[in-house]
Amino acid sequence: MMYVKGVSATTLDEIRAASGTSKSQLYRHYPDKDALVRDVVALQAVELLERQHQLLRRLNSLRGLERWRDAVIEHNALRNGAYGCPLGSLASELTDQDEEARKAIARYFDTWEGMLSAGLVRMKDSGVLRADANAGELATGLMAALQGGYLLAQTVRDVKPMRIALDMAIGHIKAYAVPAEDGNPPEGGTRGH
Amino acid sequence: MMYVKGVSATTLDEIRAASGTSKSQLYRHYPDKDALVRDVVALQAVELLERQHQLLRRLNSLRGLERWRDAVIEHNALRNGAYGCPLGSLASELTDQDEEARKAIARYFDTWEGMLSAGLVRMKDSGVLRADANAGELATGLMAALQGGYLLAQTVRDVKPMRIALDMAIGHIKAYAVPAEDGNPPEGGTRGH
DNA sequence: CCAAAAAGGGACCTTGAGGTCCACTCTGAA
DNA sequence: TTCAGAGTGGACCTCAAGGTCCCTTTTTGG
């Protein structure tokens, strides 16, 4: 509900009704609404990161990156882009409101970006990407394109800008691709292993 | 105040105090808070688009694009990325809250993107970019990178991700640059003028 | 089986935010 | 000079949202 309607627009009474519990239960577990919100963010983040981990765990090819893009876009297309990113929309509402929440969200973004970065590193190791490709920066660019795409898609109620943004980011990564050789790419680096 | 603290966190009493007027004045001009909010969005957007227009009006080179990037980044660096984009942060709070506001913001984004796109078209016309460059899509990519960069910078309280994102988008545009010839590039299209 | 403690329900309180209203002031035309 | 009407200030109202409290039910352990 907080993701869909916004945090401040979601009342404790609605939460109580939706969860089928009572006020005393809420306050047994959380000192106040802010604490509950932080836990909601944590839960949302864990679910998101878990899903992303499934998608990115074995990422080590450009095809895999495109499959990831398709999965993310398809997921967002279901709602015509409404609500935006499960983490990003909460981020933008909370960052200038609750410093503790901001730091937590920054960490979640960091681990998410780390998954992308790890995949890109594997692509470097297996010779798909050139050695001079900066995996960290490419991952940041990918994340920014994703988040920007989410926001634009959300306002236009159409996934198209998100697709364009992700294609741009992936195209940028492809610029670091090692040109295709005959046969298989080299099996890892032979030196410095 | 709405941009800094969020719309729902800004009360009419604070607005009244800050503007040095009274409640009756607010309600003389606006039927309710929502209407006032929409006008705030319009004002914010007009100011932003005016500034952007100054920066983008004569854009017709890659150097110009980089100057635009530097200006935007420098402006955001002043606050260490806090508050995000003047339009984007309002967008993400209002889009799933007020359909009328959402449509308005979508239009503002569209005109903004149009300014970028127009600059890219000029770059195509003057031979800086190849004819097969899709100005509209490149502009969308640029906007997404910008907005995503704003969001990431906002959560990390550091402009760095924004810089990386914009560099990525500009790098993507440079991929459509016509390789430098000796002397000046062709002066506009000779046909279809 | 019983008492103590934990879990639970929901009425109630308090605060503050949006919104209303009315008495007063200022301006301008007859 | 006066009176109509717009402009203005700010007290006040209403209601809903966060937060408290107390009584009841369930669980646990001796």
Give the pLDDT confidence of B164-174 residue by residue, as tens digits: 999 999 999 99
User: How many angstroms separate the CA atoms of A172 and B98, rounded?
Assistant: 36
A and B: number of Cβ contacts within 8 A: 165
Report the distance from CA of residue B24 to the C1' of nucleotide C25 in Å, as an integer: 15
Listed as ranges, the nucleotides of chain D within 7 A of a protein C-beta are 7-12, 16-22
Cα-Cα-Cα-Cα torsion A56, A62, A68, A74, nearest 10 degrees, comes to: 180
Enumerate residue ranges in chain B where pLDDT < 70: 181-193
Total Cβ atoms within 10 A of residue B25: 12
Report the distance from CA of residue B102 to the C1' of nucleotide C30 in Å, as an integer: 51
Residue nearest to nucleotide C11 (CA to C1'): A23
B97:A5 CB<8 A: yes
CA distance B92 to chain A (A): 7
∠ CA B103-A45-A71, rounded to 5°: 65
Q: What is the pLDDT along chain A (193 residues), one digit of tens a residue?
A: 999 999 999 999 999 999 999 999 999 999 999 999 999 999 999 999 999 999 999 999 999 999 999 999 999 999 999 999 999 999 999 999 999 999 999 999 999 999 999 999 999 999 999 999 999 999 999 999 999 999 999 999 999 999 999 999 999 999 999 987 654 444 444 443 3
Match 């004045």 to its residue by tokens: B25
Which residue from B102, B141, B154 is facing A92, i.e. has the nearest CB?
A: B154
CA distance A57 to chain B (A): 23
What letter represents residue B185's amino acid?
P
Segment 56-75 of chain B within 8 Å of chain A by CB:
none
Question: Which DSSP state fits B70?
Answer: H
Pick the closest to residue A151 from B144, B36, B10 (CA basis): B144
Beta bridge partners of A129: A177
